[in-house]
Amino acid sequence: MRPLIVIGNWKLNGSLASNESWVKAVCKGMEQGMPAGRMFALCAPFPYLSQCEQLIKECSLAFLSLGAQDVSAHNSGAFTGEVSAAMLKELGCKYVIVGHSERRQMHQETDELVSAKALQALDAGLTPIICVGESADERNSGRETEVVCGQIARQVSVLQDRLADCLIAYEPIWAIGTGKVASAQVAQDMHKAIRLQLAEFNEDVASHVGILYGGSVKPDNAVELFAMPDIDGGLIGGASLNPQDFLAICQA
Ligand code: PGA
């Protein structure tokens, strides 16, 4: 049985003051009881990881952890501005997002770079959350499964069995930050296609890998999405900024 995992992606948001009240509010809500067997995390901007790690430690909930939003494909050296997986691990991260569509689009990240980042994360003992997803044009021209399965195939070719230690996030680009959520059935169909594609490589990996859905998840659509057999949780952007909405999604 795969656990349900809900991860907040704060993107370029936060401040020392708002982070503190967010973590305190979420911890307080979670202490009142959460459904068993679930895992939660927040992916904060790099400069706030240390602060968030400290705040999360103070509330000592085993099921709440920390993640980052990106990682370098290199482990050290002359790479100005980069942050290594070992540094993230040292700061208390458990997860790191790689290949988010915003990075693929705005920073020209390729599947090759994404798998190099995932390998760095795995080598440091982090769980990479590998994002895949099609654009509106790709879906409108009926190519969505081909595009997403192509992204998965390129990860399989590099990561192989190590995919068992990764999470995948299916995030259709047209649903990110737009309020246009994929219907639960549309999301389920793609999650199933991803799992079938993984099963062609290795049945064991396919049945173990958690596949999260991301794109305009809100408290009022999370229940239906999370009830789908191949949807193992969510990667939450906008709605994760509000602690009460995040809590409601975690309870969905
Ligand atoms: P959203 O973002 O929930 O604001 O659509 C999701 C994501 O980009 O991870």
Q: Cα–Cα distance between 39 and 25 in angstroms, integer?
A: 17
State whether the beta carbon of 238 lies less than 6 angstroms from ligand 1: yes
State whether the beta carbon of 235 lies less than 6 angstroms from ligand 1: yes
Q: What is the pLDDT of residue 221?
A: 96
Among candidates 72, 66, 121, which has minimal Cα distance to 93? 66
Among candidates 173, 168, 172, which has minimal Cα distance to 186? 172
pLDDT at 10 exceeding the cut of 90: yes
pTM reported for the whole predicted model:
0.97
**In terms of residue numbers, what domain contains 147?**
4-251
pLDDT at 103 exceeding the cut of 90: yes
State percent of the chain over pLDDT 70. Answer: 100
Q: What is the pLDDT of residue 33?
A: 87
- Which protein residue's CA is at the shortest distance from atom 3 of ligand 1? 237
Which atom belonging to ligand 1 lies closest to the Cα atom of 178?
Answer: 5
Among 131, 217, 245, the mutation site with the greatest number of ligand 1 atoms within 8 A of its Cβ is 217
Q: What is the pLDDT of residue 124?
A: 98
Q: Are 248 and 20 in contact (CB under 8 A)?
A: no
State whether the beta carbon of 128 lies less than 6 angstroms from ligand 1: no
Which atom belonging to ligand 1 lies closest to the Cα atom of 215?
Answer: 5
State whether the beta carbon of 217 lies less than 6 angstroms from ligand 1: yes
Q: What is the pLDDT of residue 170?
A: 98
Per-residue confidence band for 179, with pLDDT thresholds at 50, 70 and 90:
confident
Q: Which residues pair with 238 in a beta bridge?
A: none
Q: Return the ∠ at Cα 51 (arms to 46 and 54), rounded to 5°.
A: 130
How many Cα neighbours within 13 Å face the side chain of 85?
21
pLDDT at 157 exceeding the cut of 90: yes
- Average pLDDT score over residue span 93-109: 97
What is the distance in A from the centroid of ligand 1 to the CA of 161?
28
Q: What is the pLDDT of residue 245?
A: 98
> pLDDT tens for residues 41-78?
999 999 999 999 999 999 889 999 999 999 999 999 99
User: Distances from the Cα of 79 to the Cαs of 48, 84, 87, 90, in angstroms?
Assistant: 21, 10, 14, 19
Which atom belonging to ligand 1 lies closest to the Cα atom of 97?
Answer: 9
Q: Are 118 and 130 in contact (CB under 8 A)?
A: yes
Q: What is the pLDDT of residue 1?
A: 79
Q: Are 172 and 182 in contact (CB under 8 A)?
A: yes
- Side chain identity at 155, as an amino acid letter? Q
- Average pLDDT score over residue span 115-124: 98
State whether the beta carbon of 105 lies less than 6 angstroms from ligand 1: no
pLDDT at 150 exceeding the cut of 90: yes
What is the distance in A from the centroid of ligand 1 to the CA of 236?
5
Say how many domains are in the chain: 1
Q: What positions carry a catalytic annotation?
A: 100, 171
DSSP letter assigned to residue 129: E
pLDDT at 15 exceeding the cut of 90: yes
Q: Which helix (H) or strand (E) holds 68?
A: strand 64-68
Q: What is the pLDDT of residue 68?
A: 98
User: Distances from the Cα of 99 to the Cαs of 32, 61, 205, 221, in angstroms?
Assistant: 35, 29, 20, 25
- Which protein residue's CA is at the shortest distance from atom 6 of ligand 1? 237
Q: What is the pLDDT of residue 60?
A: 86
pLDDT at 107 exceeding the cut of 90: yes
The CATH number given to whatever domain includes residue 78 is 3.20.20.70
